[in-house]
Structures are given as C-alpha cells and as structure tokens.
Structure 1
Amino acid sequence: MKEKFFSHNKPVVAIRGIHLDLKGLPPTPERLFEVLDLAYESRINCLLVEWEDTYPWKIYPELKNQTAYSTGTIRKFLDKARNLNIEIIPLVQSFGHMENVLSKKRFKNLREVPDNVSDLCPLKKESHDTILKMIKDILTTHKNIRYFHLGGDEVWSFGSCEKCKKFVEKYGTNTLYLYHLEPIFRFLKSLGIRPIIWDDMIRKWKTPDIKKISKLTDLMCWSYGVDPLSSIGRDTLNRFEKTGCTIWLASAYKGADGAFADVPNTQLRVVNMKTWMEYAKKNKVKGVVATGWSRYNTFLSPCEGIEAGLDCFVLAGKIIWDGSISENPTIWAENFLKHCQKKGIHTDHFYECRKVSEQMQNMRDLIFSQARNFLQQAHLVGEPERVNPIRAKEARESLLKSLKGLRQCAKEWEKAHAGVIPKFWIKKYILSRVEPAKKIIKLVLTK
C-alpha cells in the first residue's frame, strides 16, 4: 500500500518556500540541483536563494568566492526549477549584512561607520548605485521573476554617521530608510518585479509610514523561537495587516539554534513552524518560507549545514502544506526521507551526517566545559597549596583525550559529507570546529 505523507489535497498557503543561504557550506553543483528534487518532493514550490559570494558576479568579480558557481550552473539550476514549477526568489542584501561588499577595498567608503563592514550609508549616491548594479547582475540570469528580496534587516548602525544624524534630526529615521530603498523598490516595480524585505526594521514605525511602505514592498515577518507571535508582537502583526501590508511569514528549518550549532533543534523547529502556520490559517498571508541560515554573518564560522538538517527541511514542506503535523515528526521525516531515496533523491546519508554532527557538537561542548572546570582548580586561582597532583594530571589528560575524540569526529564528518559539499568548504568547517578547541586547550594547559 502506498504511504500517504500529506494529509490535505490542497495546501494551506499558495507559496511554500525554503531559503538557501549559500554563504556557508554551499552544496556542490550536483547537490544543488538535487536540492530542487527534494524541495519538489516535499511540496515546496518556491526557493528564496541568497547566492551571496557563490554567485558568478560580473559587475564586481571580487564578491565571488573560490568555489563560486559558474553562470552555466546558475542557468541550469534556474531551468530545472522552472521545469519543476519551483519559483526562485533571489535575495541581495541592500542595507545591513553587507559584509561581503563593504569588506572589499572598492566599497570601503560606503560604510555607515568606518570600522563596521556590516551597514551601508544610505546618503551616499554610490550606495544606491552599487545595489542597483548588483540587482541588474542577478537579473542577467534570473529572467521573468515575480519577486526580489532585498534583505533590509538588522541595520544596527543605521543613522549613526554625522551626515545621517543630521538627516534623522530633520526628517526622522523612517524617512532615511525609505530614502535609500524607495528608488530601488521603484526600479524593480518598473520591471514588473515586487520587492520583499524583512520586517524587523519596520516594526516600530508609525501607521502613516507603514502605509507608505506597504505600497512599495511586501514584508516578510520573521521569528524563530517557541512563540514567534509574541516575539514580533501580535499588535505589530495586526498593524501590518490593517495598514494594507502584503505579509509573508518566515520560520526556520535550520540556522536558528545558535551561531555555532552543528545540528538544528528539530523539536523547536517544528514548534516554530506549527505556530506560524496556525497564524497563516487565520490571517491573509502571501506565502511562508522556512529559512536555512548558514552563517549568522559573513565573518562568523558556519553553523549547521543542509545535510544535518534534512529532516527539518522535509518537515517544513509537510507543515507548510498541511498547516500542522499530527504524526510523530521524527518518524514521519525518517519514513519520508526513505521514500525520497527510493525515488532516486540522495537522502540516506542524512543519518550519518546527523550522528557525526551531534557527536562533534557534544565533543566541543565537553571540551569547553572541561576547560572551564580545569581553570577553577584552587591551585590555579590563588591557592597554590591546594593541589592534588594526580587530579590535575587527570584533568590535563581528559582534555587531550577529548581533543583526540573531536579530531576523530571531524574525520567522520568529512567522510559523511563527501560529494555533497566541496572539499574546500569541508576543510573550512572542520577547522572552525577543531581550531577553537585546540586553542583553548593550549591556553588552559599553559596555566
């Protein structure tokens, strides 16, 4: 008997998306194409793709990394998505999270604050021109798209340079925000493309300003905790709705459980997605996207990759389609991934990827805990007479033993991910897990 994985014949929301944040642990081209198959099988019909440094930038070649996809790969990916009726929404940062751009010498003068590479100064004409050129570069490959995501979130130093301060004093922060983005919104509109931005910078705006921006762009409301509605504020969501905003919702299938996590918290991910879908059932929303962050910002080490979160990936498809899940999520995901493997979609490596990722996370946590305990020994903190040599020796040996265990976990992690992530990024990820542990042990053992 054929197993039925989805309860409803029709989805709760029309647009059901997964976010690909490719600036950390990007898939190989072959795996990138296969992600489309997995999305299709999971009844996902939209991918929000944040190419970042994996895009083959022509206008600013210094923005691409060592393993950036070729233009041919991008076009093949987009063609396959089109054949599967999966809508692609590109995401280009336009205000905050601009590290990949502002860290480059060419763009240094565009920073809001000289020593902060995150945020763009909105009052410099070159800022506007730079974003437009990047959008146009993306549009050379992304033809006939309906939506374009411009980020626009977490602009932490917004309005802090002297010129911006004066502007804000005269016109206000909301006007400054629109001063930068409104021309970009209108450019996209002239091409028949609807912009989308994250909602967090708009949450405290007054009603007249929200009404103004609602005519220019959609808002994607994001929150990844147990109670996302309280986190954003139900009154804020109500104001968005009453002022005519077109709303999207964003949960997370991975990348929301700590900047240096090696695995997603499946239970929390499911609760978050279910809570958002309860809201979607009762309110008018354009679509729902499960984000999959790979780095909390460009200059932090990666968090967990797609492969260790495949269960949450497919659960996102299930929950966004049906609006909830009555089955045991772990068992449902296990059975569904087996179903995908039978259909020729490579998923049977998930269990090994998850296992070794959990082991690596646990081993790292153990080392940091052991290091802290080691440093609390009385003879190291001002009471040299209070020392038991055998216990001090055992503590040192335990740290070194744990480091050896972590290195073994790293080897197994590399083996489990071989072929789905480029070797270059596998090595980088392992370094990001082993090196901090090595350094802290070295520091501790010199005490």
Structure 2
Amino acid sequence: MVTKRQALRAVVLCLVLVAAVKLLLSEYRTERKQKLATMDPGSFWHPGPKVKEAVTVHKSEDINSLFNLAQKPEVPEPPVKKEAGTAPLETSKGPARIVHLDLKGAAPKVKYIKQIFPLFSSLGADGVLLEYEDMFPYHGNLTILRSPYAYSMEDIEEIKSLAKLNKLELIPLVQVFGHLEFVLKHERYFHLREVRAFPNSLNPHHPGSVALVKDMVSQVMDCHPDARWFHMGADEVRGLGESQDSKNWLHSNKGDVGKMFLNHAVSLARFITERRSGVRVILWDDMLRKISPATIKESGLQDLASPTIWNYLKKMDTDGIGTLISRYHEAGFKGIWFASAFKGGTGIDQRWTPLDYQLQNHLSWIKVMNSMTKYPSITLHGILLTGWQRFEHHTVLCELLPVGIPSLAMCLQSLKHGKCQGNYSSGGRQVEVQICVIYSICTVLLMMVIHVHVDIFANV
C-alpha cells in the first residue's frame, strides 16, 4: 500500500510539473504577443488591442499562492486579536462571492477546513454559507437532531476563527419549512409532518411546528453572535396544503397556498430579525415565484428578508431571470441574492463535476449581474456558489467536495475577473477561460497531493 501511494504521489507531482511548464509557455506566448502588438500598433490599419497585464500577473500570483498553500497546509499565523464589539468582516467591493458548504453528508472535518478556507480566500471568496443540517451540536430537547458525527462547540469556534483569519464571512443556514428530513424522520416529530408519509415538509399550522424551528434557529444564532446574515432556507416545500390542517385553512382563505407559505415565512423572518438587531434574513426564492408581487407586498416579507434567485442550468434563461428580478422589485424587495452551483447540481449520484457545465452556468450569471444596472433601486448583495452534497437528507451522495474544488476554482475566478467587465464577449472570454482551466488543473493536482494521506470526511 505504501508503494502504491508513493507511486501515486510521484505521478501527481509529474503532472503538476507538466501543468506548470505549460503555464510558463502560455505566459511567454502572451508576453511575446504583447511585445509584437507594441512594436507594430498600426497593423490592419488600426491600433492593436491593449492586453490587460493584470490578468497575467494575477494568474502567476494565484498559482504561486497555491504552491505555498500546498507546502504549508496548516494555518501558519495565529488569529489576530480583536477588541470586543468589533464590527463583522466586510466583504469586498461589489456583490459578495459566498461559497456554500452543504453539510448533509460527507461533511468536512475541521482539519480539512483548515486547508480549504485559505484556498477559498485566495480564489476570491468573501464568505462561506454553512448549511448545518444535522452537523450542528444541538442540545437540550433538540439533542436527538445531532448526527453521531456532528461538530462540537469547540469545532465550530475553531471554524469561526479560521473564517476570520482568512477574511471569510460566515452565514449560517437553518431550514425552517421544507427539507426538514433530518428532523421529521424522528418518531418524536412525526406529528409535525405536512404529509404523514413523507418527512420533508413541516405542517405550518401545528402549534409545535413554529416552536420547534424557532428553537433550532435560536441555538444556531447564539453560536454565531457576529453573523450579519442568516439564511432560513424555505425552498421546495413539497406537499404544502395537503394536510387536513392546511386543507381547513385553505377552505377559509380562498385556497391561497402562496399566502399560507408567506404566513410561516414572515413569522420566522420576523423572529430572526427581532431576536438580534441588525441581522438580515435570506431565503431561497422558488416558492415565491408562484406568488404575485401584490400578495408578497401585503405580507410584509419584503421588509424582513432578501430572496435568492437560484438557477443551476448550463443554458439558463437569462431573460426569465430578468423577469423574476422585476417581479421582486415590484414586490418591494430592497435587495436580492443570486445562486449558482459549482457542484452537486447536475446529478443525484454524480461522481465527477462537469467543468464546462458549471462554467457555462456562471457565464450566464455574469451576464445577469452585468444587467443589474437596469434595476438601480434594488441591490445585488452577492452570489451564493452552491455545492450540494445530497439532493435530500436520505438520498445518495453527489460528487464529493474535493472533486468539486477544481470547479469551484474555475467558477470563483470567472466571477472575480468576468463580472461587470464585459470581457467574455470576444477574445477576452478565451483568455479568461484559459486561465480558469489552467488554474483548475493545478488546483486539483495540488489538492490530490495535499490530501492523498488524509481522511477528511466526518460521515461518508
């Protein structure tokens, strides 16, 4: 076994060297073209295009930072001490780039997080969206919700310190309506299901439902006192309206399922914002798409939360996204988020992330982000790069996180260098895509070298 591992490492290191040589040759050709353009600016009767030097410089710096990271996987410096009451970390100028870590299956151990947080930061991420699911160390009456592999409070404190050290803002996510399989699978909570046979959605009319999710939210909020944002999920509430309680409510409210959804969402969003002043709420938008702007406005949700428009398709309908933005603007929302996918969005049991598919998804989102000037009165807070581990709590694993790292590198770099610059329309697109591909190759090889001897998952 030792011989095989050594052989694997030797092969990987050779591939890294080959990639580095190709990168150097590519830079040489780029510099040569720049020199030729400078020597003969009048070719073809007009000045040659100006090549941005920052692209080449940034590429070299990022590759070097990755090599340094591979050599020093542990965080080399202690956290910087901050005075009490220090304001939360600010994101970079413009919409934030937030990496989503879905913890429902194969959750990374803290020793792996120590290595990937510096990588996320070097790639251009501003924060991390932590979807805890059953990996949060719930206590008291909620102890039953904890996975046997759940993080301890000490683990979470270390994760928070690592995030601050690497200038990554943490945003906790707790589902409050749909995707509650990890809760409703327990016999103790069977009576709170919307559909008795399925554990995915909560019955919003049962007296114990709101109390349960408020308790969950409270424990997570208490663990993240510096969080500026809190994501309450609220997507894909399947079966809503099918319980007898819901049918009774619908009979008295003209069958308005949208209003039923809003009542629960508003109740939880108000609870979160009142529990801690200054916290802003995020929720997925798919349930809102079916509701009229007038009904949303009447509910008051627009004053409590910001919707996240999500689309993971390779060829997504950018005009349709524009229609959604207009609808949410009409509903009175002051800000919105977008959500792409760097992994886990193409197949329920995907083994290898299709890089071109994910790249095209992000190029489409860049077009949408560039169009936000049409909506001057609504703020784009950022984009969430989702990395789903499972489609649902009980389904098989999608491709594992390390497999998705090259895609994440490519997608983050595309967003960092492509948005609001319009450089994907012609030759600039080829340059940026080439950089992303080379960067991704080097990243995956380095990650293989780093982790070939490391067990990184808590609950595969």
Distance 1:337 1:76 in 2: 30
Distance 2:319 2:139 in 1: 40
1:199 maps onto 2:285 in alignment: yes
Which residue is equivalent to 2:455? 419
1:116/1:203 Cα in 2 relative to 1: closer, same or farther (>3 Å)?
same
Residues 180-206 of structure 1, C-alpha deviation per residue, up to 9 Å, x if partnerless? 222211121111211111000000211
* C-alpha deviation, 1:298, in angstroms: 0.4
Distance 2:170 2:127 in 1: 6
Residues 320-352 of structure 1, C-alpha deviation per residue, up to 9 Å, x if partnerless? 2223563364653443674x7xxxxxx635468
Which residue is equivalent to 2:199? 117
* C-alpha deviation, 1:57, in angstroms: 1.2
Map 1:228-267 onto structure 2 (within 5 A).
228-229=316-317, 233-245=321-333, 246-267=335-356
What code does the residue aligned with 1:57 have? Y
Residues 231-278 of structure 1, C-alpha deviation per residue, up to 9 Å, x if partnerless? 955422321123332210000000011001001111010111111121
Q: Percent identity?
A: 26
1:4/1:237 Cα in 2 relative to 1: closer, same or farther (>3 Å)?
same
1:6/1:140 Cα in 2 relative to 1: closer, same or farther (>3 Å)?
farther
Distance 1:164 1:188 in 2: 24
1:288 maps onto 2:392 in alignment: no
What code does the residue aligned with 1:179 have? N
What code does the residue aligned with 2:294 have? P
Distance 1:318 1:12 in 2: 16
Distance 1:134 1:177 in 2: 19
Which residue is equivalent to 1:348? 445
1:139/1:42 Cα in 2 relative to 1: closer, same or farther (>3 Å)?
same
Listed as ranges, the gaps of 5+ residues in structure 2 are: 1-26, 28-55, 62-90, 373-378
What code does the residue aligned with 1:227 have? K
Work out which of the residue numbers 62, 71, 74 in structure 1 matches 2:153: 71
Which residue is equivalent to 1:382? none
Which residue is equivalent to 1:5? 59
Residues 83-127 of structure 1, C-alpha deviation per residue, up to 9 Å, x if partnerless? 322111111111111000000122111000111100000001211
The answer to whether the 8 A contact 2:180-2:199 is kept is yes
The answer to whether the 8 A contact 2:100-2:128 is kept is yes
Distance 1:150 1:221 in 2: 14
What code does the residue aligned with 2:409 have? V
Listed as ranges, the gaps of 5+ residues in structure 1 are: 341-346, 354-414, 426-447
Work out which of the residue numbers 87, 104, 110 in structure 2 matches 1:23: 104
1:295/1:417 Cα in 2 relative to 1: closer, same or farther (>3 Å)?
farther
* C-alpha deviation, 1:225, in angstroms: 0.4
1:139/1:176 Cα in 2 relative to 1: closer, same or farther (>3 Å)?
same
1:206/1:417 Cα in 2 relative to 1: closer, same or farther (>3 Å)?
farther
The answer to whether the 8 A contact 1:5-1:336 is kept is no
The answer to whether the 8 A contact 2:414-2:432 is kept is no
Distance 2:94 2:169 in 1: 14
1:62/1:232 Cα in 2 relative to 1: closer, same or farther (>3 Å)?
farther
* C-alpha deviation, 1:38, in angstroms: 1.2
1:256/1:311 Cα in 2 relative to 1: closer, same or farther (>3 Å)?
same
Map 1:161-310 onto structure 2 (within 5 A).
161-171=243-253, 172-190=256-274, 191-192=276-277, 193-211=279-297, 212-229=300-317, 233-245=321-333, 246-283=335-372, 284-310=379-405
What secondary structure does 1:285 align onto?
strand
Which residue is equivalent to 2:211? 129
Which residue is equivalent to 2:241? 159
What code does the residue aligned with 1:253 have? F
What code does the residue aligned with 2:146 have? K
What code does the residue aligned with 1:214 have? Q
Distance 2:170 2:441 in 1: 24
* C-alpha deviation, 1:296, in angstroms: 0.4
Distance 1:203 1:11 in 2: 30
Distance 2:112 2:183 in 1: 27
Distance 1:228 1:184 in 2: 31
The answer to whether the 8 A contact 1:13-1:320 is kept is no
What secondary structure does 1:113 align onto?
coil
The answer to whether the 8 A contact 1:13-1:280 is kept is no
